[in-house]
Amino acid sequence: MTDLESRLTRLDTPDLRPPVLPDADVAYTLHDTPIGTLLLAVAGGRVVASSFGDEETMTTRLARAVSPRVLRQPRPLDDVRRQLDEYLSGDRRAFDVEVDLVLATPFQRLVLEDLPTHTSYGRTTTYGTVAGDISRPKAARAVGTALGANPVCVVLPCHRVVGASGALTGYAGGLDAKRFLLNLEAKS
């Protein structure tokens, strides 16, 4: 036995365990879905992100807006992932999670906070209708921009908002993802 092996043998103690790290201020994970990979994040028990954005950009935004302690910790997101999977398989119509719009601009908050009142599962509305409902009747394009940058997409159903003609326009996950979500809801 070499000197190094002898010293390492003395370190082999059965009661030695890895440290238990505290939970992150912001826990996130990447979750593969039929519509693409979503970055999911929670802070203080509330969903702060459900985004198609890339990992580095989103974690940087979370670090600036919420806390610099952003860690990839999937366990705190188990319930969100389960509900998302149930929704995407057609077994759930609404999410039972608290949302925090910390990543949204003030105008996005105005649009997103009332989004569930503008539409419901399987029913669409238009950008113009949403603009009128928030007392900004000439802001249909701004509503579209706000929804296109929704930091909590799918959970807050911006996919249910379409053009005045019924045409599918812009979606952060792409038009195929928007079509998938609308078709999923139409089947139920």
Angstrom CA distances, 8 to 15, 17, 21, 56, stand at 15, 16, 25, 39
Burial class (CB in 10 A: 0-12, 13-18, 19+), 126: buried
What is the biggest distance separating any 2 CA atoms in the chain, rounded to whole angstroms?
Answer: 82
Helix and strand counts by DSSP (H, E) for the chain: 8, 6
Q: Are 148 and 141 in contact (CB under 8 A)?
A: no
Angstrom CA distances, 51 to 18, 36, 134, stand at 33, 10, 24
Candidates 156, 158, 172, 181; catalytic one: 158
Sheet strands (E) in 44-177: 46-51, 70-72, 125-126, 161-162
Please indicate whether residue 153 is annotated as part of the active site.
no
Q: Are 41 and 49 in contact (CB under 8 A)?
A: yes
Active site residues: 158
